[in-house]
Amino acid sequence: MKAALILENGDIFMGNSIGSTSQRVFEMVFNTSMVGYQEILTDPSYAGQGIVMSYPLIGNYGVNSEDNESSRPWAEALIVRHLSQRGSNFRCEDTLGNFMKQHDITGIEGVDTRALTKILRSQGSMNAMITCAEDFSVEKVLEEIRAYRVKGTVERVTRTEPEVFSPEGEPKCRVAMMDYGVKQNMVNCLLRRGCEVTVFPAATPAETVLSGGFDGVMLSNGPGDPADNPGLIAELKKIYDSDLPLFGVCLGHQLLALATGAKTGRLDYGHRGGNHPVRDLEKQKVFITSQNHGYMVLADSVDPAVAQISHINVNDGTVEGLKYARPNCFTTQFHPEANAGPKDTEYLFDRFVASMGGDR
């Protein structure tokens, strides 16, 4: 079945429908990863977005039940050059095409994804629509596309009840995880280090966390504009004012920055992929990182009496990490827990566990 991808700027790309045939409007972003499409689709940070994969062959190793980062996919749409019709891998359980149909993910293949990526890089992320309608009014479609806004996403993706994950053996320490859209591998990284992890819904009052007897608090990744969450920011400030060790990633990094007086801003086209170089200013080393964000902490808004910039993006110089003057508190914009990789910065989990006394 033929399908059309209509961009907010009026450009139209024709291709073949894959996955669901439902008409969908979304914010379109691009990802430069060669692998990890299942983890990308199930990452809650993509809620409300459609993803253009810049690598041309997607789906060649299929999907399986182990690699999901959450209980369901959150991306609205997937745009690819070529969708493999079968998966060749010993862990393969089904095809990506069937996975998309099962979970009602709209998609299109056969379009020039390199051209799409260049448009987004030069003009910035923009809204788009995929439709299988044979006849549509471009004027009406563009009106609908331009009216779309990604809102209320943290409330949509977070848990409704706390959930406890226990490691093998006696826990070294107990961690409260604030679920702004947490990926499962973030929990797994703590479990492997002997931590018991209690994952709390995003709107959990600070008093509940502070009275829970936890050794530390982790702030997860998540979708949307961090400034759209004033209630979460106010509760997070109370946790920051305690003496509990804190480690924030992605949205958690941005929310804590806002809670301590810094400001955030929108990137033109975001950082999404598994090949972003980041310099650790303390180690004086560059690490390859996985990233997925459309917003950043503004460097000139960070009060040096509150926090120091600890990591910067090698490509554009944006803030990638903060080390706070308050003891045992640090955050990163990139994803040290990344699946399908890279794993270069998992040392930050060791640092967090050490700050809680878990290395004793």
- Angle (CA) 325-326-329 rounded to 5° is 95
Residue 250 annotated among the catalytic residues of the structure:
yes
Residue of 39, 196, 235, 337 with catalytic role: 337
Here the tokens at position 207 are 């008093």
Residue of 250, 253, 271, 276 with catalytic role: 250
φ, ψ (nearest 5 deg) of residue 299: -60, -40
How far CA 181 is from CA of 62, 135, 251, 342, in Å, comes to: 24, 37, 9, 20
- Angle (CA) 283-285-291 rounded to 5° is 110
Task: Give Rg (Cα) of the chain.
Answer: 20
| Strands in the chain per DSSP E | 2-7, 12-19, 24-31, 49-53, 57-58, 77-80, 82-83, 106-109, 126-131, 163-165, 173-179, 195-201, 216-219, 246-249, 264-280, 285-297, 307-313, 319-324, 329-332
Dihedral sign from CA coordinates of 205, 211, 212, 215: positive
How far is Cα 14 from Cα 233, in angstroms, rounded to an integer? Answer: 43
Residue 139 annotated among the catalytic residues of the structure:
no
Query: Which of 209, 294, 215, 307 minimizes the C-alpha distance to 256?
Result: 307
Contact, 178 vs 200, CB < 8 A?
A: yes
Q: How many residues does the chain have?
A: 360
Active-site residue list: 250, 335, 337
